[in-house]
Amino acid sequence: MHQGVERVLISRADIDKKVNEMALAISEEYHGKNLLIVGILKGAMIFMADLVRAISIDVQFDFMAVSSYGSSSKSTGVVRIIKDLDQNIQGRHILVVEDIVDTGLTLNYLLDILKAREPASVRICALLDKPSRREVKVPVDFNGFSIPDEFVVGYGLDYNEMYRNLPEIYVLKQEVYKITK
């Protein structure tokens, strides 16, 4: 196991099973619709790659990059769009793919921006959900795993741009993120 992590929270086998279940539900929900999947960089990249390969309908995808954390372990509440969509979403069915829903502040801000662009629909797909940390209610339509309030890394999730490449979801050792505050 990697030296910075405390333990495995979600195994690769459990991740794969859940991704396939979510892909099936998405394929059924959007059958016959013009679906654009919007991945939120950088954390959702690995999840989204596995998810879109498992979806059985035609999809297009685009990316947005937003930041509310910087190098901190907690959200600052200030959201910045670093990369916007390349495509016009007016009249399109949009599925936002996020790695983790924590306070809901970033996702709520993002939903407001996307809805103002007049898509046919906007829904959320998140691999992880931390309901105990929620400050703003956001609708997670396709939810992978609800997790406790622990700092997690791996499978795209990072701390200070590290650990994204780990194949499972791990709890990060507290001393790792407390030292660099």
Roughly how many angstroms between the first and final C-alpha of the chain, as a whole number? 24
Q: Respond yes or no: is residue 16 known to be catalytic.
A: no
Strand partners, 159: 162
Among residues 50, 102, 129, 158, the one annotated as catalytic is: 102
**Helix residue ranges, H only, 69-104:** none
Q: Which residues contact 79 (CB under 8 A, 6 or more apart)?
A: 66, 67, 68, 105, 106, 109, 110
CA distance 64 to 181: 27
Which stretches of 40-127 are DSSP H helices?
45-54, 105-115
> Of 1, 3, 30, 9, whose CA–CA distance to 157 is shortest?
9
Classify each residue of 139-148 as buried b or exposed e, where b means 16 or more C-beta atoms within 10 Å of its C-beta: ebebbbbebe
Catalytic amino acids? Answer: 102
